[in-house]
Structure 1
Amino acid sequence: MKSSLDPRVHRRLIALIAAGALVLIMAVVGIYGLVAGHQDSATPKPITTGTTTAPSTSVPSPVSTPQLSAIPHSRDPEKFAQSVANALFTWDTGSGFMPLDYTVVILDVGDPSGTEQAGLASDVATYLPTREAWVDLRRYATTQSLTIEAMYVPDAWAGAVAQARPGQLPPGAAAYTIEGTRHREGIWNGQPTSTDSAVSFTAFVACPPDGDPCYLLRLSQLDNPLK
């Protein structure tokens, strides 16, 4: 059976069918593109960035500075004089401190008015090695300590108080003569060595009657105490 369609019409029909199919394909592709595009916009692509390190929040630990032990405050003149004696004769050349550091410990309990501070500093200097001697003693790891064997108010103190002019001595002034043994230890030619020697001196202190802590006025010459 022959087709009654005109060839030109037939070709048009084929063209229309093909065009319709193309439109359908384009529509499907368009719909897929919209869907795919929507999905891409809904799920953003990961952005690669450099690694960021959070700033450190750790607080550096405070560095503690070594300090010599302070002479404890006291209202007892005898106990205070004993503490002064131990601080005056106890030192260690290997501790990292110098004679001036040990001097400051004594001056910290000196006359709070400052009247006797210069004289007291001069007194203390005669009890401690010089800086040059200290450096030399450090080579031998020299240390020193004191054993107190006797402590008393000298008889001559009563006469000194009686002869003092009004206001010359502060309220609560007292004197204590201390006798003991000074021990020095160190290393000589790789071997421990030690020496002991007798020492005596007088500490002049004041303990105010109003309840303030005792303080140190002056020191006698070493080995020339008040008797």
Structure 2
Amino acid sequence: MKTNLASWSRGRLIAVIAAGLVLLLLVGVGVYGLITGPRPPDDRAPDPAPTVTAPGENEPAVPGPPRVVPSHDPDEFARNVAEALFGWDTGSGLMPLDYTAGLLEVGDPSGAEQAGLASDIAAYLPSREAWIELRQYATTQHLVINHSFMPEAWDQAVEQAQPGQLPPGATAVTIEGTRHREGVWNDEPVTAEQSVSFTVFLACPPPAPQFRTGLCHVLRLSQLDNPLR
């Protein structure tokens, strides 16, 4: 009976972590989001902005969310975005909105794609409710990148775009990798892995003050497992 209970408990945690993967009901947008422009306003009330309070005398300071390492190179920057997008820890004291804020810091400096990018990022992260559930099992996640490349379909998208529709230096990089989740159940580690692929749409414009001295910035994200090829 003990063996059956242990197996059932372990299976339940694996199911919870796997469910967390399924709960990422992805509503990301691909190239057409860049071509057609921002989405119409969402009637749903946005999540409240995170409140920062000074830690008490006996309370440790909560670390900030992971920051995307800047780069002038499209492939390197796309990889940095991917690692920040998939790297989180439910035991860090942060919430999904905090991780979103870290990624938005390297978003479109013009603001034209920020609303769409925020929606894309939210689709990759667990919901607040799922996050709280996963926190009970000390769930963490990270991405191992296997391959990155500029998709051939991007050239077709550029040809179809009207003059001025794409920002200077716009490009796309498709990422293929493995998403790893780890958790703890009854003091025993449990893991789950899943192959993932997606496309990061970004721009690496020539050096200019309005373009952050030529550093790349992320525009949008494709739907997970529906990348450009």
Give the TM-score normalised by structure 2.
0.70
1:179 to 165, 172, 176: 176
Question: Which residues in structure 2 correspond to 1:1-227 (within 5 Å)?
Answer: 66-210=63-207, 211-227=213-229
Displacement of 1:65 in angstroms is 5.6
2:25 equivalent in structure 1: none
Displacement of 1:189 in angstroms is 2.9
Displacement of 1:157 in angstroms is 0.5
CA displacement 1:170-219 (0-9 Å, x = unmatched): 11111000000000000123311001000000000001112421100000
1:17 equivalent in structure 2: none
Structure 1, unmatched stretches of 5+, are 1-59
| 2-structure distance, mates of 1:175, 1:131 | 30
Letter aligned with residue 171 of structure 1:
P
Structure 2 CA distance for partners of 1:76 and 1:127, relative to 1, 3 Å: same
Preserved contact between residue 66 and residue 99 of structure 2 (Cα < 8 Å): no
| 2-structure distance, mates of 1:131, 1:65 | 18
Displacement of 1:71 in angstroms is 1.2
CA displacement 1:40-60 (0-9 Å, x = unmatched): xxxxxxxxxxxxxxxxxxxx9
Structure 2 CA distance for partners of 1:64 and 1:94, relative to 1, 3 Å: closer
Letter aligned with residue 67 of structure 2:
A
Letter aligned with residue 79 of structure 1:
E
Give the TM-score normalised by structure 1.
0.71
Displacement of 1:74 in angstroms is 1.2
Displacement of 1:64 in angstroms is 5.9
**Identity across matched positions, percent:** 63
| 1-structure distance, mates of 2:96, 2:62 | 17
Poorly superposed stretches of 4+, deviation over 2 Å: 63-66
CA displacement 1:115-140 (0-9 Å, x = unmatched): 00000000001100000000000000
| 1-structure distance, mates of 2:61, 2:128 | 25
Aligned alpha-carbon RMSD (Å): 1.5
Preserved contact between residue 86 and residue 179 of structure 2 (Cα < 8 Å): yes
SS at match of 2:164: coil
| 2-structure distance, mates of 1:67, 1:189 | 29
Structure number with higher relative contact order (C-alpha < 8 Å, ≥ 6 residues apart): 2
SS at match of 2:214: coil
SS at match of 1:137: helix
SS at match of 1:69: coil
Q: Quick check: which has more Rg, 1 or 2?
A: 1
